[in-house]
Structure 1
Amino acid sequence: MARWCVRRRFLVIGLWLAALLGLGAAQSSTGTAYNDNFTIPGSESTTAFALLEQACSCPR
């Protein structure tokens, strides 16, 4: 494989550049509207988080 890459170095560089441009285009087309809020009502962690919010009187 290394020999093939050395013999076709410009093709390999072109393929890497095309892959990078393709990944960049795919990343920009997905946008930035990600949501990481996930709750399960009644679970222990949700209850613990609610207790922590009640106990903390610190302004955010």
Structure 2
Amino acid sequence: MLTGKQLKIKRIMLDIKAIHIAELLEVHRSYISILESGKQNIPLHIRTKWESYLNKREEEMN
């Protein structure tokens, strides 16, 4: 499982905006910032969907 910081780095490397992740996860953009900064633990259901999406996008790019 990736940390919030690792998710942010991967998101940026894939050129995905935080607002897009927020819309995907049906949360506010500021909540993504809180999670990526490590100020709050990422709930499992959110982490699973988030990581799955980033992995899928990464595979599409290869």
Normalising by the smaller structure, the TM-score range is: 0.3 to 0.5
Structure showing greater radius of gyration is 1
Question: RCO greater where, 1 or 2, for CA within 8 Å and sep 6 or more?
Answer: 2
Per the normalisation by structure 2, the TM-score is 0.32
Per the normalisation by structure 1, the TM-score is 0.33
| Higher percent of residues as helix | 2
